[in-house]
Structure 1
Amino acid sequence: MNNSHLELLKKLAEEFQPRTDANTRATVETESTDAFATLVDLARDMQDRLDQQQNRIRQLEQLVETDELTGLYNRRGFLRRTREALSRAARQKDCGLLVIADLDGFKEINDFHGHAAGDAVLRHFGQNLRTHTRADDFVARFGGDEFAILMVGSNPDIAKPRIQDLEKATARFPLIWQGSGLPIRASFGFTIYTAQSDVTELLKNADSAMYANKHAKRSRTESNHNAA
């Protein structure tokens, strides 16, 4: 091979090398872009699946903590919210009210009008409680005809007037059942919670206050009846 042949091969090599590098870079860039797009799609798919799982978990938690009849919190959900409120009170040095409400004469409604009427009364009363409490308050049906309210951050100085207003408001509109009115009356009891409060003790104190109120109303009714 003479020098002219070598020069020709050299020139061909020089011309071929840039084209090869460019093609290689283009191929690598294309493959990299495709791989990145695939990773992005996988990441999005994983996030979608995670979001769906979290939504399912939230839905299950809501079902577990919701009273089926009234749509309010059940005892489990209410206790969780109460513990959260106590933790917040410890951090922020605030307080609030825990209220227990129990329907008066509910057994007679079930006995004389049937359980369907009793269920209607419970739903109606629960709706009244939710309507006449703040958005930040938590309302629950504990079971039977017993309800609970957590008034977060309520001022203890206005506790009694608030409970009295709530008692009047929830009894203001009796339920119309099959063309006749069913009375909805309830006895309320409350206790103030602070950062140092214990959930079990709070429920016990509010329950005792509620039964004291119920007994006092019954005594007044009997006294008025005897006086008449």
Structure 2
Amino acid sequence: MSLAITPDNIATPALDRLASEINERFFAAEANYDGERLVLLERVLDFAIHAEQQLAEQQQRIAQLETMTRTDDLTGLLNRRGLEAELTRTIASAARHQDHGVICYIDIDDFKGVNDTHGHAAGDEALVAVASTLADNTRADDIAARIGGDEFVVVLTAASVHDGFRKARALQSRLNATTIRTGQHTVRLSVSLGIQAYDGKTSVAEVLDRADSAMYAQKRMRKPELIPIAT
């Protein structure tokens, strides 16, 4: 009899050597359960405990790295990758439960002017202010993301088109009331916002593209009303 350790499941040379010692000392016909063998058992237990601790630490580091790859460094919101992953999960859930919701695509008006006039630090402050407003005015089950530059997306889950439109309009009003202080100046922000409904049959790429188009339609018209695109 011997331990069932093969080249396929040997993690390290140290484990290989330890397995060989155990095979020789514990399964030899003339072996006795002496103190030396008990010491070897203690080494096995120590090795197992250490390996378990290393595995837990590695899993924690992997989780941290995964969070970093899905999160926007500046605002702490999801980035595009994180949004697409969460939206895919949300649409799959909508398919299972015959649910629906709306997506709000948000762009800061004249963000380039903020950067050019007040500097990039002010631009960063504007992005953080928008992100904070979004976080403070959405539910725990909703999704908020900065997907690049001055563009944000909010997913209002489990909402009808009517309720989603109303919530999006209220969100836009709050964003348009957001101000930042830069030097001696107070800068009032405004945003353009497009809304698009989704359900369990929705394509992630398509719904984001339609919401984006709705946002640009509003921006071109320079009106405060939302421009929805029918499903």
Q: TM-score by structure 2 length?
A: 0.75
Aligned-partner Cα distance in 2 for 1:116–1:145: 14
Question: Equivalent pairs: percent with the same residue?
Answer: 35
Return the index of the structure with the highest Cα Rg: 1
Aligned-partner Cα distance in 1 for 2:109–2:221: 12
> What is the Cα deviation at residue 81 of structure 1?
0.8
Unaligned stretches of 5+ residues in structure 2: 1-31, 226-231
Unaligned stretches of 5+ residues in structure 1: 1-26, 221-228
- SS of structure 2 residue aligned to 1:154: coil
1:163-192: CA deviation from partner (whole Å, max 9, x where unpaired): 011011122231112132111110111111
**One-letter amino acid of the counterpart of residue 73, structure 1:** L
1:109 paired residue among 103, 108, 114: 114
1:107-153: CA deviation from partner (whole Å, max 9, x where unpaired): 21112111121111111111111111112222111111111112222
Residue 183 of structure 1: aligned partner? 188
Q: Identify which of structures 1 and 2 has the higher relative contact order when contacts are C-alpha pairs closer than 8 Å and 6+ apart.
A: 1
Residue 131 of structure 2: aligned partner? 126
**One-letter amino acid of the counterpart of residue 187, structure 2:** L
Aligned-partner Cα distance in 2 for 1:103–1:84: 27
1:33-80: CA deviation from partner (whole Å, max 9, x where unpaired): 777665544433222211111111111111111112212111111111
Distance 1:219 1:40, change over 3 A: closer
Aligned-partner Cα distance in 2 for 1:182–1:157: 32
Matches within 5 A, 1:20-99: 28=33, 39-99=44-104
Please tell me whether residue 165 in structure 1 is matched to residue 174 in structure 2: no
Aligned-partner Cα distance in 2 for 1:219–1:155: 21
Residue 148 of structure 2: aligned partner? 143
Aligned-partner Cα distance in 1 for 2:199–2:77: 24
Cα RMSD of the aligned pairs, angstroms, is 2.3
Aligned-partner Cα distance in 2 for 1:50–1:151: 37
Aligned-partner Cα distance in 2 for 1:219–1:99: 14
Total equivalences in the alignment: 194
